[in-house]
Structure 1
C-alpha cells in the first residue's frame, strides 16, 4: 500500500513540475504544442477538449463540425464548447476565430458563438478554438478545410410577356432567396442571337416587373433574361446605381423566357464619338472642359440604353460611369481638364459600341499646361534680390580697386 501511494504522488509531482500532457487527436487534428503565456504547463493541441457545431436560420439543428465539414445555411453560427482538459483550472475564457480573417468572438465561460455571415462570402476556412484557464494555461484546437456557405443564389422564373398596349409589354418574374434578410435587385436584358450576347435595358430594379417599349425594335426572335442579385443592405448599404464591385458573394440567379417574337431584336445603332480640339491653358486657370458628343448611325436608338464608359488620364483610369441615352441628339460626355500640373497630358474616352459592329470606340484629347508667370509680388522680390546682387558686385569691385592702389 505504501508503494502504491508513492507512485501516485510521483505522477502528480511530474505533472505539476511541467510535464507534457497529451490527448488523443479527434478527426486528424495535427498535434501542435501551444505554450501557455503565464502557466507552467504546456499542452498539446487537443480537439478532444472541444465540441464544435454549426447551425443556421435555414437549419436550426446543430451539425457537428470537424475537419473538412461543409455547414451551409443562412447566417451560420459556430458554437464551440470546452469539455474540459486535465490540469486546467476554472474559471475559463473561450474564444473562436476564423484564421486569416478579421472575425472572432470571445466569451467568459466554457462556450462561445460566432456568426460567420460577417465574412460576406462563401469559402473554405480554418477555424481555431481555444480556452484559457485562471492560470493562463491554454488548450487549442484547429479545424482545417471547413467550408462555410452563408450565401445562396436566387431562383428566378420569368413569365410570358403580356401586351398592355401597342408596342408595350409587361414582363414579370418571381424570385426566391434562402437569405431571408437580403434585398433583391434585378437587371432586364434581351438577346437577338440565341444568347450569344445580351443588351441590358434596365438595371437596379426593385420591382418584379418591367414595361418594355418595343417601338423601334425589328421583328426577330429573341430571349428575355432577368438577373436577380441578392444584396444584404446591412453589409452593402444603398442606394447605388450598379451592384457594387466589392459585393463579394456575387450570388445572382438568372431566369429566361425563350423565343419571344412579337417584335424581335433591337437593332441598336452604332455609337461613335466626336474628336474635340486639344486644350492649352496656364496652370491655375479654370474652365477647361472636354466635351465628347455621341453620334448614332446604322439602326435604331433605344431610349434609356445604358452605355458604360471609362475615362483615362495619362493612361490611368480616373472615371468609370454609365451614360443613359435619353435621345438621339445632344448626347454628351463631359469631363473637366482643370487642375493638372504643368506639362503635357492626355484624356481618353473609351467604350464599346452596342451596334451591329460592336466596335471598341475611343478618342484622346491632348492637354498642354503651361507654367504660371511670376506674380507682381514675385517680380518685386526678384528685383530687390537683383539690386542687392548688383550692389554687392559694385562693393566688391571698389574693394578690389582700393587694394590694388
Structure 2
C-alpha cells in the first residue's frame, strides 16, 4: 500500500438545484489492484477546506427550465453551462482562499459532477451540463468531468456512483451499514459484513417536498421538516404516490427529475384536491421515508446502522419518519447522520467526486458493476488539462 497523499477538489451540484458544494481534501493514494474500495481510507483523509455557493435565482431558473424539453434548448444549455462553470470557479476560489498553504500547483485534479438535466440510461445516455474546458481555463487546475457516461456506455445506469466511495470511507469489518443520501433523489449504499456493496436510487428524496413548499409558500425547502410535522399523513394519497412502476423495479436502477417532476406530483394530487396543503407536505415526507425504509428492509434487514447524508439529513421530521418506517418493517437499525462517522452530511457527495477524480488520475475504476449493472469495472471521466 502506498501511504502518500495528494490534494483534490470535489464539486457537486445535485438534483435539488440549490447550489454547489465544494471540498478541498488530501486523499491517501490507493493501490493498483483494481478494487474500487479502499477500506480504512477515512482515517487518512484530511479535509482542508469546504465551501457552499448557492445558485443565483437566474441560474437556478435556467437549470430548472432544462429539466424538460423546450425551445432553443441547445443554445440555452450552452449559456447555462458557461454560467455554471463560472459558479464552480467561484467555489474553487473560495476553497483556495480558505487554504492559503495549498498552492494551485499542488492540486492534482478537480472532480466536477456537472448538473444533471437528463438521465436516460435506458436510452443509453445521461447528460450533466457543464463547461469543463472553461473551468480549466478559469482555475488552472486539471478538471475531471463527464464522470457518469462511461458506465452508461458499458451498459450501466451511471448511478449511483457513491457506493464505491461509501465503502472506501464508511465500511467497517463485521458491521452491516446503510448509507442513505437524500438529495433531490434518494439513494442507498448497503455495505455488507462480507465486504460486498450494493446500492441504487430509491426514488424521491427532497424533490417533491421542495416543489410543494415552493408552490405553496415560495420557500426553497421545508427547514427541519417543520411544516411537514404540522400536518397529518393522508393514507390514500400516500398509497397513490406509491403506485409507481419505478418503485417495483428490481435493482440495478436509477432515476431523477425525468420521472419525479412537478407534473408527476400534480397528476397524483389531482384526485386529492380537498387535502390540506400541510397534509400534502406531511404525506410527501412520509413517501420519501417509506420508499427508503422499504428498500432497506427488503435488501438490508440486518443493518446495524443507517447513516444519512445530503440535505435530507437536516430534515428532522424525515429522519423521524424513516426510523418509524424501519421499525414498522422489523428493521431495528439506528438512524443517524454521517456526522457520527466524522463527515458532515453536506460534504459527502463532493468528497465522493474528489475521490472519483483520484481514481481517474490513478487509472483505477470508479464504478461498481454490481451497483450500476455495467459490464465491468471502468475508469470514469474525461480529462480537461489545466
Q: Considering the TM-score relative to the shorter chain, is it more than 0.5?
A: no
Which structure is higher in helix share? 2
Q: Structure 1 length as normaliser, TM-score?
A: 0.18
Which structure is higher in strand share? 1
Instruction: Choose between structure 1 and 2 for higher RCO, CA contacts under 8 A separated by at least 6 residues.
Output: 2
Structure with higher Rg: it is 1
